[in-house]
Structure 1
Amino acid sequence: GMILDIAGRPAATVTKTSAPLSFPADVPTQAALIAGPITDLNVMTRRGRMTHAVDRLVISASTDIQSAADATLILCVDGEIAVAGAAPVRIGPRDALLLGPDALKRRIEPARPATLFLIRIDRIAAND
């Protein structure tokens, strides 16, 4: 994990089990590793043009995800999952599946317990 020092906020500890932490990319930020190298995930969208939401899911049974977003990214951190669809897709650790706006509901079947990030990205309508 790491400790993030984001200007104007108390220091935040981020680990594999933490909820995603949102902060603006244009403020001074420093990080200190807690116990050696890590792999982190940063999602950035252009402020005023796009929005995004990041959810961390740990699943061990069939799970339905719903998204009306313009784009939905399923990132498998660990484990292995099958994502139902016209052509089912299997993804493993550090694999991702990008879904378009027509993918309103998908069933995820884990082969074993899996940790995922579900990232939803939308255009802001006033910018179309």
Structure 2
Amino acid sequence: MSIRRFDLASAKHMPWKNGTGSTAELVIFPAGASLEDFAWRISSATVGGHGSFSSFAGLDRSLAILSGEGLRLHTQDAAPLVLTARSQPWAFRGETTVYAELMDGEVTDFNLMSRRADWTHQLEMLDISGCQTLATVDHATVVMLYCQSGGPLTCRGQQVLTAGQGLLLDEDDANQTIELNAQTPSKLFLARLQHHTSQS
């Protein structure tokens, strides 16, 4: 894979598993996999009404808000969670029963899912201003960078990202220092995915 670019503007649109909306599929691994057999998947969807999340048994999910006022998320035996574009991503199990309530109009979200039996992932949002170096993490199989807002954002002096664009770095690149330079203050999603057999 080496370094691979992806872009929300050219993403493939697919129906939601529960049939009530559609998702822009940014990346799926392995390429050509279906919703039943992918190892991990990165996507974005516009949520236009209240409703329940699709169930994805055996998957771990991380959800973030790209635009809009946000969601109020209801789960069993827990207080409602408010998720906005200023919040860190919410991590949860794909089989969790979740009801999403729009706070004030539609939102666009960002979703990372990985198959729990074989993969783990962590997704975080970073504020990037000027030059910044991201710390390396041992044994990351894949690193994802996605420019949520701001930019242009230069990675390693050559890959330029604007809002809605991202990079995937494979194992050789994922475990090296990542230098970023933001011409304007930017928000960046950073994900590290690890295949269990890659652990020492």
Please confirm whether the aligned pair reaches a TM-score higher than 0.5, indicating the same fold: yes
1:14 Cα shift?
0.2
Which structure features the higher share of strand residues?
Answer: 2
Q: Tell me if the contact between 1:76 and 1:96 (Cα under 8 Å) persists in the aligned partners.
A: yes
Q: Which digits, 9 at most, give the CA deviation of each residue in 1:68-92, with x for residues without a partner?
A: 410001000011100016xx10000
Unmatched runs of 5 consecutive residues or more in structure 2: 1-69
1:35 Cα shift?
1.1
Q: Distance in 2 between matches of 1:11 and 1:125?
A: 36
Q: Distance in 1 between matches of 2:172 and 2:198?
A: 21
- More relative contact order, 1 or 2 (CA 8 Å, 6+ apart): 1
1:26 Cα shift?
0.5
TM-score by length of 1: 0.91
Does the residue aligned with 1:17 lie in a helix, a strand or coil?
A: coil
Aligned to 2:186: 114
Q: Closer, same or farther in 2 for the Cα pair 1:126/1:108, shift >3 Å?
A: closer
Q: Distance in 1 between matches of 2:198 and 2:128?
A: 36
Aligned to 2:94: 25
Q: Distance in 2 between matches of 1:34 and 1:119?
A: 27
**Percent of residue pairs identical:** 26
Does the residue aligned with 2:127 lie in a helix, a strand or coil?
A: strand
RMSD of aligned residue pairs (Cα, Å): 1.6
Moved over 6 A (4+): none
1:27 Cα shift?
1.4
TM-score by length of 2: 0.59
